[in-house]
Amino acid sequence: MALSQSELMRLLESLRRADGVEAIRLVCERILQELIEAEVTETIGVGPGEHSQTRTTWRNGHRERLLTTQAGDLDLKNPKVRTGSFLPSLLERRRRIDRALFAVVMEAYVHAI
């Protein structure tokens, strides 16, 4: 799920206003949310608002999920699906993802994403 131009501008402005730690928290939260949305899109077979005969289920809202990391508490939205269940691979039950999260952020920083 790519960010629109207006979403990118809002994110950039919020990063400018935030202090260093808050900026890292915001970036981590956004990266994880985008990865979760991409994973649910792959699982379902279509993106939000798209139609296809090959879809496996439908999106059915989100559940709020608080993830505590060294960067701070991240407010994530875990997508729900109508049939079956969906748990993003990044949010395995009772798993600390600090190392994986920081690796993703460092990799994005190195590649100037």
The reported pTM is: 0.65
Report the alpha-carbon angle 14-2-5, nearest 5: 50
For 27-43, write each residue's pLDDT tens digit. 888 888 999 999 999 88
Which residues span the domain enclosing 60? 5-110
How many distinct structural domains can be found in the chain? 1
Name the one residue in this structure whose structure tokens are 């970036």.
27
For 36-71, write each residue's pLDDT tens digit. 999 999 888 888 888 888 888 888 889 898 888 777
Give the residue-averaged pLDDT of 10-25: 75
